[in-house]
Amino acid sequence: MGFSLAGHNGTHAQQAFRTEPRNLTVRMGATAVLKCEVLRASGIVQWAKDGLLLGPQRSLPGFPRYNMIGKRGQYHLRIENAQLEDDAFFECQAGQSESSDGIVSGLAFLTVQIPPSKPYFVMDTPTPWVVGKKYRVECVAPDAKPEADISLYKDGVDLTGATSFTTSGSKDKLLNTHAEVTVTALKSDNGRELTCHAKNKAVSQPVVTTVTMNVYYPPDPPYIIGLDRDEVKAGRLLVLECVSYGGNPLANLQWTKEGEVLSTTWGEEVVGQKSRNILRLKITPADNQAELSCESANIVSLSPLSITRKITVFFDPAELTLSGSLKAVEGQELTLSCHASSSNPPVHIRWWLGYKELNNTSVAFEEGENGGMTTTSNVTHRVSREENGLRLTCEAFNNGTQFSKIQPATLTVYYPPQRVFINSPPEDVPLRSGTRVLLTCFSTGGNPPAELTWFKNGREVSHAQPQTLSHMFVSRVLNLLLTASDNQADYRCDATNKAKKTMSAHVKLLVHFVAVSMKITAKQEVLRRGQEINLECLSGSSNPKSDVSWKVGRMRLPGVEEKPTKAVFGGVSVLSRLSLNLSSQHNNQKVICQAYSPVLEEAANTFYHLSVLHPPEFSPEQTTEVQVVEDDVATIPLMVSANPEVFSCIWLHRRQTLVKGEDIRHQWSDDHSLEIRNVTRKDGGLYTIKCENDEGVDQTTVELDVLYAPSLKPEKDPVFVNLGGTADLICVADANPIIPGMFSWKWLGEEEVEMGEETQEDESSLLTIYNVTRAHAGFYQCTASNGIALPASVEMQLVVQFTPVLRKGPQWSKVASRGDGTTTAELVCQAEGIPRVEFIWGKKGMLIDLANPRYEERTDREGSFHTSTLRVVNVSAVLDYAVFSCTARNSLGEDKLDIQLVSTNHPDPPSLFRQVSVTHDSVTLEWIPGFNGGLQQRFRIRYIWDKAISFMYVDVLPPDETTFTVTGLQPLTIYNFSVNALNAIGESGYADNGAVLTITTKVKESEDPMDDNEQAPSGVPTHLTVAFTVVFGVLLLLNSLGCFLGRKWKNRRDKTKIEGEAVVNGQKSEEDVSSQSTVSKSNKYESREKINTGAQRTLLIDSGSETESNVYESYTAFQEDSHYYYPAGDYKPSLGPHPEERRGLGVIPANLESHLYEDVGDGRVYQDTLASPLPPYPPFFSDYRQTQQAEDWRSPTYPQGIKKAGQLMDDQQAKRDYDLPFELRGELV
C-alpha cells in the first residue's frame, strides 16, 4: 500500500496505485515482469532497485535488459535474461506533482534461482587406486541458489552412507554443496564409472559429472608355450613364449636362465588383457641341465610369479682327434688312437681301413664338459705295400642326436725304388768344350719316389736341376757346360728314399778343349828403342794338341815350337819361343801368344805388355788447325807420346813464350793441351810446342782460327738520290768467315716497295734501287749473318729528293675570318719536298710584301714537311677577302696553291659518305669532311626506316670525328642514312649532293627476325616523347626570336631614310636570302675576288649602306627551313637521336648555288665616322688563336682553321656569344 510524499495544499486529484508489485521468483535466464499500475498519474513514475532509482524513461537507459511496458497508466518493469545481480527488492514510485503528492509502492522481492555449476570430484588420493585399499571421495556442486542436492553412484548403483554440507559460493547469495563417501577399491571396479548428480529448483535435470576408476591389481601366474619336451638337440633355435593374463597394469615379463636375465622385452595386448614375451634361444651344449624361468609382475605385485623348466641338451663331440703315425715301412706295426670330446650321450667309435673294419681296438670313457662324456678308442695294425694310400677312418656315432662324425686319414707305406738309369751321349763320341750336355737320371718304383743325387768323380754336384715327378718315374737333369775337367770324368746318379736303400748309375764323357792356360815370360827387364827381346809362350793342356803362333798389333810373327808333353785332364802342353827388335811404336803394345785348335777352330790367347823407353814423339793424328768462335773456349789438343811419360812442354805464340799465370785466360791440362778462355780474334795464329823427357826432345805447330760474328758499317749514310734516279746503298762487314749469301736487306717502312737488286763482293753488300720513287725514301736495314752468334744489322737512310708537293683540298684552299678589322687570319701552306723548300706568297697575282706590318710569315720544318703560315692582321673584308697564292719551291721545281680568304659561314657538305660495317643493331659510317666555314664544325647523322613516323638524328661525338657507329637499331630492317655538317652559323647540305645511303641490318644471332607487323619495343612512345620535346623547344625559341626580331625591326625602321640608297644597292630577294642557308657546293671564283653572302651583309652593315632589317635575315630564313637553332653560347652536343617531322628522302632546298659578288672598292664603307650599330666585342679569332699558337702550334697534318675538340668544348662556356661571327652578334630577347 502506498504512502504520501508531501502534505496537501488545497484540493487536488491524488495519485494512487491500482496495482502494486509483488514478490516474484524466476530461474536464471528467464524474463521477470514486476507489475505497477498508477491511477491519475500526474508525477514522474519510476522504479527503484535496492533504493537506486532506475530513471523515468520507459527504455531505462543504462540498463539494457530493463524496460517499462504496458498501456497508459501501466508501468510494469520487464527484466530479460534474469541474472544473479537482478536478485533484489524493487519498488514503484510516482513523484509529486502540482496536483498530487508522491506515492511509493511496497517492497517486492525478485528471487533469481541459479542452477549449480558442473560438479567435480575431490579425492584424497587420485587414481589409480590399489585393489583392497579405502579411499575418500568428495563431490562438490558449486555456485547454486538455492543449494543443490547431490547423489553419488558407482556403475549406476547408488552409494549409501554419503554425508553432505554447504559452503559459500564464489559470489554472494551462491552456495557450494559437498557430499562425501568412503569407497573400497575392488578388482572389478577397474574401468567402472563413478558418477555425481547435482540438482536444485533452478534445473529440471541434474548436472552430472563422471570419472572412470583405475584400479591397480596383480597379474595371473605365467605359463610357457613351445617347450613340449625337456630334451633338446644342440644347435636348435628354441622359440618359447611366456604368457600372463590380467593385471592392471599388464604384467612385466622377463626370461632368465640359471638366474641370468635373457630377455626383458614383452608385448601387451590390451584387448586380450595379456602380456607376451617371446624368447629365441640358440641351444648350445652349455645349456645342458639349465633351468629356464619366466617371471611376471607389475607395480602392485607383492612378489613376482614365475614358472621354471629344466632342459636336457643332446650334443655331439666338438672334436674328433686321430693321433699316432700314419707312415711306416712295409711290414711295420702301427698303433693309432681316436679321441672324441665331450658329448651327450657318449659316442660309439669304429675303425675302417678302406672298406674293411679293424676290430683290434680298445675303448675308454671319461666325464667331459657340459655334463657329457669323452670317448677314446685305440687300434693296432701291421701294414703291407698294397695298403699304401688307403683311407683310414675313425667314426663316432651319437645315439641321442642320430649324428655320425668321422676323422679320415691316409695310410702311407714306404718301399725302395725298383730301377735307376742315366740318359747321356755315347761315351765314344767326342764333345766340344763349351757346349751344353744334358745328363738325365731316371728312377722307377718306390714309395715315396726316390730322391736323385748327382756326383762328379765322387763329389756331389750342387748345380743339378730340381728333380721332377711323373706318374711312373722320377727324373733329375744335370745341365753341363762342358769344360776340360769333364773329359773322362766319372758322373754317378744315386737314388734313395725313406725305405733307406740306395741304387746307382754311372757315365763318362769324351771332351775336346783348347789350352786351359797360357803364359809368356821374357828374359830382359828394361827395354829401349833398338834393342831385341826374347819371349817364351807355354800353352797349357789341350785336347787334341794346339798350334802356337805370335802377333804384335796386326802383324803375325813366326815362333819356334818345342815337342808336346802330356798334361792334366788327358790333354797335351806346347812351348814356343819368339825374338823381336824394339822401336818406339812398340811402346805400350801387346805381344799376343795364341794356341789354336784346328779341330775345335778355337784359340786361347795371352799377351805381354811392352814398355819401350823413347824421347817425346808427336802423333801423326796431331791436330794442325783448330777453329773456335770468339768469346768461346778454345782447346788446342796435344797428342804426344813419351816413355818415361814424365816430360815438359813449352808453348810459343808469335815467337813469344806462353807462361803459366801470366794470362788468366790460359789454362793447361794434365796432357799439356792448352785451353784459352774468352778467345779473341787476337789469339788467332800459329802456336809452336816443344816437348822433352830423359830420352830426348821433339816439337810441332798448330794454327788457331778464331771465328767471330759480323759487325757492320755503312759506306755512306744518308744516301741522296733524285726522284727517278738510281740509288746505291753499301754496307761493309768485319767477320770471320766471310761466306756467300751472308747479307740481306730489309725495308723498314710500313708500305711495301720494290727492294731492288742485291749483290755481294767479299765483305761488302750493295743494294741497287732503279727508278727511285718517293715511296723508296726512308730507312733500310742491312743484316749480315755468318752463322756465328746473332746476325748484325745497320740502318741506312735513303733520301729521295723531289719537287715540292703542296697539300690541297677543301680545308686547305679556304680560310674564313671576320672582316671587321679586329681579327687575324692565318693562311697555312704545307708542302712536302726535298731538298729544303722555300715559300712565296702572293695576293691577286701580286707578291706580298712581308715587310708590311699587316703580314707576318712563320716557317716550320718537320722532316720533309715544310709549313709556312701567313698571318693577315686586322682582316678587312674590302682589302683581304681575296685569293692568296702560295708557291713552294726548291732546286728541283715548284708547286702552287690558291687559298681563298672568306667570311665565316656555314660549313660545306661532307663527301664520300659510305658504310664501314653493319651488325644486327648497329651501323658504322664514315665520310670526308668539307670546309668548316672558319668555325669548329660538327656532324649530324639523319636516318629513317619504313615504320618510323619521322627522321631520327644523332650528333657525332667527338665533334671532329669522321667515323661513327649508330646503335639501337632493329635487326633485319632497311635504314636510309644521310650526314651533314654544322657550325655556329648554320648547317651544310647533306653529303654527296643529298644522296641517301641505304643499309639493311643483319639478323640477330640465335634469334628469329622480328615479324613485319611487330614494332620495335617501345620505339614509337620514345619517338613521340622526343618529338613533343623538340616541338616545345622550337616554339619556345620562336617566341624568343620573335621578340628579338621585333625590337630589331623597330630600330631598322628609324634608319630607313639614311640607309635607303644602300638598301637599294644591296637588296636581295627573299629566295636569294633563304637559299644561303643551305649552300652545298663550294664558293666559285672567277678572275675577280668573290665573297659570300655573310660577307656582303657585313659590308653593308659596317658602311651603313644597308638597312639593319637585313642583318639577321639570312639567319632567320635559315631557321625557317632548318630544324635546329644555335644559341649564342652554351652549345652542348646532343647525346642521342631525336625525331623531326618526316620529309621525302633526298629533298634538299632548291637553291644550292652560292651567290657571286662583285669587288667592293669604295673605301667609304670603312670610314670611322660610320660606326657599326653592333656593340664592340673582343675579337673572335685574333687574340684567341694567337694564344693557341703560342702554347701549342698545330701539327702539319691539321687543316686550315681546325682546332681540337677538347679545346673547343673547354672554351665554349667562357666565350659565349663571342663564338659567333660579328655578323650574328646581338642581343637575344
Identity at 237, one-letter amino acid code: L
Give the pLDDT confidence score for residue 1121 in this predicted structure.
37
Q: Smallest Cα–Cα separation from 1138: which of 1124, 1153, 1118, 1152?
A: 1124
CA gap 89, 446 in Å, rounded: 142
| 8 Å CB contact between 333 and 381 | yes
- Return the H-helix or E-strand segment holding 329: strand 327-329
Residues in the chain: 1229
Q: Can you tell me which residue has the cell 734313395? A: 496
Phi first, then psi, for residue 994 (nearest 5°) are 80, 15
Q: Can you tell me which residue has the cell 637553332? A: 1125
Residue 762 has pLDDT above 60, yes or no: yes
| 8 Å CB contact between 171 and 112 | no
Give the pLDDT confidence score for residue 1058 in this predicted structure.
34
Res. 1025 pLDDT band, cuts 50 70 90: low
Lowest mean pLDDT among 124-128, 981-985, 1183-1187: 1183-1187
β-strand partners of 587? none
In sequence order, which residues have a C-beta less than 8 Å from that of residue 1035 and are 6 or more positions away?
Answer: none
Residue 885 has pLDDT above 70, yes or no: yes
DSSP 446-495: TBTTPEEEEEETTEE-TTPPPPEE-SSEEEEEEEEE--GGGTT-EEEEEE
| 8 Å CB contact between 40 and 13 | yes
Res. 1160 pLDDT band, cuts 50 70 90: very low
DSSP 1123-1161: S----SS------S-EEEE---TT---S--PPPP-----
Q: Can you tell me which residue has the cell 684567341? A: 1184
Q: What is the pTM of this model?
A: 0.37
Interval 572-631: pLDDT, tens? 999 998 888 888 888 888 999 999 989 888 899 999 998 888 888 888 888 989 988 888
Interval 533-581: pLDDT, tens? 888 899 999 988 888 999 988 888 888 888 899 888 888 999 998 888 8
Res. 472 pLDDT band, cuts 50 70 90: confident
CA angle 812-1205-823, nearest 5°?
55
* Cell numbers linked to 1008: 628469329
Average pLDDT, integer, range 826-849:
93
Q: Smallest Cα–Cα separation from 580: which of 589, 570, 568, 567?
A: 589
Average pLDDT, integer, range 66-82:
94
Phi first, then psi, for residue 320 (nearest 5°) are -125, 110
**Torsion (CA) 120, 124, 126, 128 in degrees, nearest 10:** -130
Q: Smallest Cα–Cα separation from 1201: which of 815, 794, 845, 910?
A: 815
- Within 10 angstroms of residue 1161's Cβ, the number of other Cβ atoms is 7
Write down the H helix ranges in 954-1103: 991-994, 1019-1054, 1060-1066, 1070-1075, 1093-1103
Per DSSP (E only), the strands in 586-742 are: 590-597, 602-609, 612-618, 625-629, 634-636, 640-643, 648-653, 656-657, 666-668, 674-676, 685-693, 696-714, 719-722, 727-736
In sequence order, which residues have a C-beta less than 8 Å from that of residue 1187 and are 6 or more positions away?
Answer: none
Residue 958 has pLDDT above 50, yes or no: yes
Determine the angle formed by the axes of helices 1113-1121 and 1093-1103, rounding to 10 degrees: 150
* Cell numbers linked to 1007: 634469334
- Within 10 angstroms of residue 1016's Cβ, the number of other Cβ atoms is 17
**Alpha-carbon dihedral sign for residues 1145, 1149, 1151, 1154:** negative
- Within 10 angstroms of residue 11's Cβ, the number of other Cβ atoms is 7
Interval 180-226: pLDDT, tens? 998 888 888 888 889 999 999 989 899 999 999 888 889 989 988 88
Residue 288 has pLDDT above 90, yes or no: no
* Cell numbers linked to 20: 502494486
